A and B are shown apart, each in its own frame.
Chain A
Amino acid sequence: MAEYKIADGVKLHVINETKFKTVRIMVRFREKISEKNLGKRVIISNMLETTNAVYTTGKDFSRKLSSLFGATFTTGVSKKGNQHILSINMNVVNPKFVNFDTLGEAISFLKTALFEPDVTGNAFTPTIFKREQTNLIHYLESMNDDRAYYASRKLANLFFEDKEQALPSVGTVELIERETPEAVFDYYQKLLKNNATDIFVLGDVDEKRVVELFSDFGFTDRTAVSDVFYSQLLTEKVSVLTEKKETAQSLLQLGYHLEVNYGDVDYMALQVMNGLLGGFAHSKLFANVREKASLAYSISSTFDSFSGFFKISAGIDAANFDRAKQLIFDQLLALQKGDFTSHEMEQTKTMLRNTYFVSKDSPSNNIELEFVKALIPERFLTTDRFLSLLTEVSKVDIQRVASHLILQAEYFMEGLILQDMKDDE
C-alpha cells in the first residue's frame, strides 16, 4: 500500500493486491454535512452516473462500459460522522484476463465523467436534470416501502438532536425538489475545488502507471477536513414514537447514547460488548429473545462509532411488545452486571478476529479500511494493534461500556395484523 499526494487535500492510495480478478477504483469527495448542499450532492451522484458531454445518452454511456468488458461505473452517497461522502466507483476485470487495457480506459472514462459533465451554458442540461430529479424523488418515496429502512429513519429523527445529522445520506424529497440545474452545477464546481478527496486503486496494478494516469486530473490544493466525529449530549427524556402501519410484522427499534468513538480506549471493548449483546448468533438477544422465547425472527444490535449511535432492532409480533421490550432490556442489564461467561467472551473475540480477516477477502472492505486510515490516521488500528487490543479486552471493560449505554429514543411500528396471516392454532 502506498500513498501519493496529488495536491493538498487530494490523496491517491494504491493498494497492490494480487488475489482478486478485478481492479477497483474509487474516488471519494467529502465535506461537512449541510442541509444546503446535501440535496445537490445526491443529484450530482445521479447525474454523473447517467450521461456526460462525451457519452450523451444512457445508451452510449452503457455501451462504452460494456465494451470495456463489463466495467461498472456506480456512484453513491454516505455519511461518516459529520462528513457527507460522495463516492464514484469503477470496477474492471484485470487486464491480464482479457488482454485489453481495461485499467487505462477506465481511468480515462472516470476523468470524462468527473470533468466533462453534461452541461448546457452554466447549468446541467435541464431535460436530463429534470428527469433525474423526478427519478430520485420516486426512489426516495419508494424507499419508505422498505419497512425496516423507514423505521430506522424514524429512529434517527428521534435520536439525533442535530437536524443535519438526522438527515438521511440520500437526502429527502424536499431537499431534492428545491434544486435547480444552475444551482447544482455551480455547487459541483465548488465541490471539485474544495472537497477533501481520496482516490483508491486496489488490485494487481503497476503503481507508477496508476500515479501517471491520475496526475493529469487537474486537482488543485484544498484544505482537508479533520472534524469527523459527531457527538451529542445525553438527554434526560427518552423520545418515544409509536405508529400504526398496515404490516404483518411489527418493528421495534431502540437508540442508545454511545460515548465511544473509533480508536478510543474502549473501542475494542465496545466491539466485544456489541458482539455479546446482538452482533452474533451466540449473542444474548439472539439466543434469548429469538431462540429461547421465540419472540422474533430478526433481532440484532449495531453501532456507529463515528456518530455516537447504538441501535437495537427487532421484528416482533405486536401482541408481544411489552414482553419483547422487557426481555431486550434484561439482556443489556445482564451485560452491565457481568452476567456472561469468559467462554462467551472468548468466543465473541474469536468471531471478531475472524470477521476482521474474512472482510479482507473483499475488495470494497479493503478500501473501506484504507478510507478510515485516510480519515483519522492517528486513530487508525493496524492489524497487529487491532488483534492485541482485542485480546486485552476484559470482563470489566465490557461491563463499563455496557453501562454507558443510555436509552434515548424508542420507535415502534405497530403492525395492524392482517387476519388471514394469523396463526390459526
Chain B
Amino acid sequence: MKTKFYEKTGETLFSDVLSNGLTVYYLPKADYNRTYGLFTTNFGSLDTTFIPRGATEFQTFPEGIAHFLEHKLFEKEDGDVMYKFGALGAQTNAFTSFSRTSYLFSTRENSYECTQLLLDFVQKPYFTKENVHKEQGIIQQEIQMYQDDSDFRLFAGLLAKMYPESPLAADIAGTPATINAITSEDLYQNYETFYHPSNMNLFLTGPFDINKMADFVKNNQENKMFVKIEEIKRQPFQAENPHSFDQIELEVAMPKFALGLRGEDELPKSSKELLIYKLSNQIFLDLLFGRTSERYEKLYNVGLIDDSFGFSFDLEKQFHFSILTADTENPEKLSQALQEALKSYKIDKDFSVEHLDLLKREMLGDYFSSLNSLEYIANQFASEIYDDLNFFDLPEILEKITLDVIEKHAEKFINEMKLVEFTILPK
C-alpha cells in the first residue's frame, strides 16, 4: 500500500492496487461522522460499441445500456439492495455519466458491513427477463422527467448538434425505444466486459481504522474469483460534422441560448500535460467571461446576460468542448459578443497576468473549500484519466499555469474548434 501526505491540505491518502487489478483509495477523516464509499467502473453511456469479453467482433448495444445496468444491479434474487443498506442505516445511490458508472453509500454506522455490501452487490449480477422488463417502466418515467427540464434539453440539444451520429448525441438514459430493446443477455455481456476489477476503482473516506479497512477490502476481494485481466477494446469515438445552428421551441419564459465549442485539436499525451491543458482552458474562459471580467460587467449592464450565464470546459480522453449558456432576450446579439471575444482574446484587456493571478488565488481558495465535501473529493478520484496525478496535486499544478501556458493551449483549441449554436425559444 502506498501512503502519501499532502502538506498543503494536511490530508493523507493511502492507495493500493490489488492482485485482481482493483485500484483502491483510502482517505481517513477522523473527525467526520460519516463514511462514504464510491465504487466506479470505467463504463458509461459512450461505451455502446465494443468487443464483448470472449468475442472477436465489435458489437453495438442499445443506447442507455450502462445506465440500465446501473439500475438493475440493485435488484437481487432476495430483493433490492437499497433495503439492505437501509437495514444498516446507510443511504445508497448510483449514477451514470458519459464514461463512468459509480455506486455509493454514505453511513455513520456499520461502515465495514456497508463496504462489504457495496463490493458484493456490484460484483454479483442478477438479471432476469422479468426484472429487466419491470425496470423499463421506471426508466421511462426518469427519461420523461428529464425531457421536461429545459436546462437539460438545452445541454442535450447542444451536444446532439455538436456530435451528430455519436453516443454523445444520445441521452445517457437512452430513449423509450432503446431501453425496451435491452435484454438480460445484453446486460450480462456488458457486465462481464466492463465490471472486471481491473477496470474499476474504489474510494473510501471517513473515520475508519485504515489498517482494518484495508485488510477488510483485501480479504473480500481475495475470496472472490475473477477471470483474467484482458484489455477492453472499445470502438474509437466518432462523430459526424457538427450542425452549426439549430433552434427548437418549448414552453419557457425566456429564450435559452447555448454556444458550443467543439475541440478538434489533439490532446496532450502525458496525464500531467492533460491536466494542465484542462485547467488552462478553464481559466481561459474565466479570464474572458467570468464575473471578474470587463465583458461580464458590460453584458450584464446592457441586459444581455443575468445570473443564469455560465460556462464550462469538459474533457474526456475521447473529446473535449466548451459550453457557454444563458437565458437571454437577444440570443443573436449575445452570440455575436461571445464569438468576437473568442476571436480577439489576445488583445483583450482581461487576458492579463494580473487578472490571471487574481483567478488563481480564487481557484486555490475554492479548492480548499471543496475539501469540506467527501462526496466531491471521491468524485474527483473516480475519474481516472490522470493516472499518476490526483486531486491533491492540484495546488502544485495550478502554480505552473502562466499566461503563456494558457495562450499556448487556448490558441490550439480556438484555432481548430468548431462552433455550434443552439437555442430554445419560447412557444
A282 within 8 A of B: yes
Query: Assuming A248-B147, A351-B86, A358-B33, is B372 touching A294 (CB within 8 A)?
Result: no
What is the interface of chain A mostly: helix, strand, loop, or mixed? mixed
**Which of A131, A358, A421 is in CB contact (< 8 Å) with B301?**
A131
Interface residues of B in 88-123 (CB under 8 A from A): 88-92, 106-109
A165 to B371 CA separation, bound complex (whole angstroms) = 38
**Which of B80, B176, B364, B366 is in CB contact (< 8 Å) with A291?**
B80
What's the nearest-Cβ distance from chain A to residue B246, in Å?
Answer: 17
Contact A358–B34 (Cβ < 8 Å): yes
Query: Assuming A58-B297, A93-B365, is B372 touching A363 (CB within 8 A)?
Result: yes
A327 to B366 CA separation, bound complex (whole angstroms) = 47
B141 within 8 A of A: yes
A297 to B87 CA separation, bound complex (whole angstroms) = 22
Stretch binding the partner chain, chosen from B159-167, B191-199, B268-276, B303-311: B303-311
A382 within 8 A of B: no
Q: Residues of A contacting B366 with CB < 8 Å?
A: 70
Q: Residues of A contacting B323 with CB < 8 Å?
A: none
Stretch binding the partner chain, chosen from A16-24, A263-271, A332-340, A372-380: A16-24
A17 closest partner in B (C-beta): B31
A292 closest partner in B (C-beta): B134
Q: Residues of A contacting B180 with CB < 8 Å?
A: 423-425
B363 closest partner in A (C-beta): A70
Contact B32–A71 (Cβ < 8 Å): no
B301 closest partner in A (C-beta): A131
The interface bits of chain A over 18-62 (1 if a CB of B lies within 8 angstroms of the residue's CB, else 0) are 111110000000000000000000000000000000000111001
Contact B365–A98 (Cβ < 8 Å): yes
Contact A141–B303 (Cβ < 8 Å): no
**Which of A22, A67, A71 is in CB contact (< 8 Å) with B358?**
A67
Query: Assuming A59-B296, A66-B359, A69-B362, is B252 touching A245 (CB within 8 A)?
Result: no
The interface bits of chain B over 283-302 (1 if a CB of A lies within 8 angstroms of the residue's CB, else 0) are 00000001111101100110
Contact B361–A69 (Cβ < 8 Å): yes
Query: Assuming A70-B365, A354-B90, is B141 touching A296 (CB within 8 A)?
Result: yes
Contact B254–A93 (Cβ < 8 Å): no
Contact B253–A138 (Cβ < 8 Å): yes
Q: Residues of A contacting B33 with CB < 8 Å?
A: 357-358, 360-361
A223 within 8 A of B: no
> What is the size category of the interface that chain B forms with chain A?
35 or more
A298 within 8 A of B: yes
B75 closest partner in A (C-beta): A291
A355 to B33 CA separation, bound complex (whole angstroms) = 10
A418 to B249 CA separation, bound complex (whole angstroms) = 14
Q: Residues of B contacting A423 with CB < 8 Å?
A: 136, 140, 176, 180
A172 to B362 CA separation, bound complex (whole angstroms) = 35
A351 to B365 CA separation, bound complex (whole angstroms) = 34
Q: Residues of A contacting B303 with CB < 8 Å?
A: 131, 134
Query: Assuming A142-B308, A297-B138, is B145 touching A315 (CB within 8 A)?
Result: yes
B394 within 8 A of A: no
B93 closest partner in A (C-beta): A281
Q: Residues of B contacting A134 with CB < 8 Å?
A: 303
Contact B134–A354 (Cβ < 8 Å): no
Q: Residues of B contacting A65 with CB < 8 Å?
A: 362
Q: Residues of A contacting B226 with CB < 8 Å?
A: none
Q: Residues of B contacting A350 with CB < 8 Å?
A: 86-89, 109
A246 within 8 A of B: yes
A90 to B140 CA separation, bound complex (whole angstroms) = 41
The interface bits of chain B over 240-274 (1 if a CB of A lies within 8 angstroms of the residue's CB, else 0) are 00000000000111100000000000000000000
Contact A354–B176 (Cβ < 8 Å): no
A297 to B141 CA separation, bound complex (whole angstroms) = 5
Contact B327–A297 (Cβ < 8 Å): no
Contact B150–A353 (Cβ < 8 Å): no
Interface residues of B in 67-82 (CB under 8 A from A): 80, 82
**Which of A94, A138, A422 is in CB contact (< 8 Å) with B176?**
A422
A141 to B347 CA separation, bound complex (whole angstroms) = 38
A174 to B135 CA separation, bound complex (whole angstroms) = 45
Contact B306–A139 (Cβ < 8 Å): yes
B415 within 8 A of A: no
A226 within 8 A of B: no
Of B89, B293, B294, which is in contact with the most chain A CB atoms at under 10 Å from its CB? Answer: B89
**Which of A20, A71, A249 is in CB contact (< 8 Å) with B147?**
A249
**Which of A18, A315, A317, A343 is in CB contact (< 8 Å) with B31?**
A18
Q: Residues of A contacting B148 with CB < 8 Å?
A: 147, 247-249, 415
B374 within 8 A of A: yes
Contact A282–B359 (Cβ < 8 Å): no
Contact B358–A249 (Cβ < 8 Å): no
Q: Residues of A contacting B80 with CB < 8 Å?
A: 281, 291
Contact B144–A94 (Cβ < 8 Å): no
B148 closest partner in A (C-beta): A247
Contact A19–B31 (Cβ < 8 Å): yes
A293 closest partner in B (C-beta): B137
B369 within 8 A of A: yes
**Mind listing 16 A-B residue pairs with CB under 8 Å?**
A21-B368, A63-B292, A66-B361, A69-B362, A71-B365, A93-B364, A94-B368, A102-B365, A138-B253, A142-B327, A295-B137, A316-B141, A347-B89, A361-B33, A415-B144, A423-B136
Q: Besides A59-B293, A142-B308, A249-B147, 4 other CB < 8 A contacts? A: A138-B327, A361-B32, A361-B34, A415-B144
Q: Which residues of A line the B interface, CB within 8 A?
A: 18-22, 57-59, 62-63, 65-71, 91-94, 97-98, 102, 131, 134-135, 138-139, 141-142, 144-147, 245-249, 280-282, 287, 290-291, 294-298, 315-317, 343, 347, 350-351, 353-355, 357-358, 360-363, 415, 418, 421-425
Shortest Cβ-Cβ A-B pairs, 10 listed: A69-B365, A70-B365, A297-B141, A294-B137, A70-B362, A141-B253, A350-B89, A248-B144, A62-B291, A66-B362
